[in-house]
A and B are shown apart, each in its own frame.
Chain A
Amino acid sequence: MTREDILEELKKVLAHYTPDKETLNSIGPETDFVNDLKINSANMVDIIIEAEERYDIEIDMDSAEKIHNIGSCVDVILEKINEKK
């Protein structure tokens, strides 16, 4: 599983939560969920739950707090996938 694979999967999840489809098409590690993608911060928990289901991982609350932008989100997902191995 590469960072690119996860980024592509993440885009599909984020499509349900961002009103800004243009920004979604050009996201990178620095893209901020709330400021750039205009995602309601309350929905961050839903994005985390969907990521958990897709990768069969568990993102505990301490790890979730590290997620600020696309880059840190991919980091946490990768970390949890690797922990599983």
Chain B
Amino acid sequence: MAEIEGKVKEIISKQLGIDVGQIKLESSFIEDLGADSLDNVELVMAFEEAFGIQIPDEAAEKITKVQDAVDYIKGKLG
């Protein structure tokens, strides 16, 4: 499961152009990591692509922090 966390942080780092070290589980994409609403959409698409899953819009809207993404993906991959 730590693997998922690492991969999620790596994707965020690449998409938002920030160091992995700056990304914490409690980080909010918009408030802490400098993302805007379009970055969020792209992040969700990148998660879908990387983990081979579908994240419906209703679920995507609730993913505002790194932890939310990790939890959702873990749940999906169960």
Asked if A and B bind, the verdict is no
Residues of B within 8 A of A (CB): none
